[in-house]
Amino acid sequence: MRDDPSTVNGAEILMLGEMLTLPQNFGNIFLGETFSSYISVHNDSNQVVKDILVKADLQTSSQRLNLSASNAAVAELKPDCCIDDVIHHEVKEIGTHILVCAVSYTTQGGEKMYFRKFFKFQVLKPLDVKTKFYNAESDLSSVTDEVFLEAQIQNITTSPMFMEKVSLEPSIMYNVAELNSVNQAGECVTTFGSRAYLQPMDTRQYLYCLKPKKEFAEKAGIIKGVTVIGKLDIVWKTNLGERGRLQTSQLQRMAPGYGDVRLSLEAIPDTVNLEEPFHITCKITNCSSERTMDLVLEMCNTSSIHWCGISGRQLGKLHPSSSLCLALTLLSSVQGLQSVSGLRLTDTFLKRTYEYDDIAQVCVVSSAIKVES
């Protein structure tokens, strides 16, 4: 407040109690927050009443919840005395909510009395969460590649939020690494700066890297179809420290389809010399769970990449969910960043050909330049 030019001078030294007032309504209540209410039943008469039963229910669009701490009746309530209760409920639905407070009691004359009061309020959505998935084709990855998750979180309330925690709870198939901090002088510093406040309508991006666990990565079939990634756990505070928490449903992404056969790179140099042979190592995986393949490898030259060796050679039979590694040699006749393309795999059983272009890129430099460097 002292640094904010829009506040009155000296506002930071005011006691908090001087600025607090009792609200005329419940105010804004957001999904994920804990709704708390203090209920007081006061005997305004000059008579003792008996068998007082106070019941508090919360009616939502889909259910009615009993929030009373005790359903037992109080034996008697003397004049000017109160029955107090504090109720709590973690709000899990948006829309209209009605707090129904019902009181029943017996007068001194034995007459049974009953009355109810209704308090209506709206539960609003505090955050807008959008997710994007990126499938990383790592040259040195295993059968299943890394998955990057970008979570965009927007504050759609009218007041600032303190983002206490945003984490990703991965599914049993993945390990997760958070990419929302950097190492500065041996210290882990958040990429969002020292203040973790999210202003109204502001959006913040969180990034996570998921790697499949070894026991799942070794199974080629796991890369196919829809895979469950995990769920986001978001904790924030608003106004005077009210805490809210939301968990998304299980996030799913459509894994990239590689068909029946997948070709990935296990090793490739970053920089090679012009017109000099260099070596790469490829892994060929039979992604089928039930069919054996008989493969033939063809190597097709491009305008800049030339393959060395015999094209059309037999690779032999490849059983379901198994892999084989190939060492290949090639050279480039053009300098610059060149794309490795031109590999063809033919399954002789089905007479089906799989084409692999833009497998990777290498930087081709003149040998003279490399010697000078």
List all residues 6 or more positions away from 69 whose beta carbon is below 8 Å from its beta carbon.
Answer: 85, 86, 87
Final residue before a domain boundary, out of 99, 124, 149: 124
Determine the Cα–Cα distance for residues 274 and 338; give it in Å rounded to an integer: 11
Same domain, 310 and 243: no
- Say how many domains are in the chain: 3
Q: What's the confidence (pLDDT) of residue 55? A: 92
pLDDT(371) > 50:
no
Final residue before a domain boundary, out of 210, 237, 254: 254
Same domain, 239 and 150: yes
Domain that holds residue 43: 16-124
Same domain, 337 and 350: yes
Q: What's the confidence (pLDDT) of residue 145? A: 63
Q: What is the pLDDT of residues 114-164, one digit of tens each?
A: 999 998 888 999 999 999 888 765 444 444 467 889 999 999 998 899 998
Q: Where is pLDDT greater, at 213 or 274?
A: 274
Q: Answer whether residue 8 is part of any domain.
A: no
Q: What's the confidence (pLDDT) of residue 277? A: 93
Q: What is the pLDDT of residues 1-20, one digit of tens each?
A: 677 676 667 666 655 555 55
Kindly report the CATH number assigned to the domain that includes residue 70: 2.60.40.10
Q: What's the confidence (pLDDT) of residue 141? A: 40
Q: What's the confidence (pLDDT) of residue 114? A: 92
Average pLDDT score over residue span 279-292: 86
Which one, of 26, 31, 40, 34, lies nearest residue 77 by Cα?
40
Determine the Cα–Cα distance for residues 74 and 54; give it in Å rounded to an integer: 9
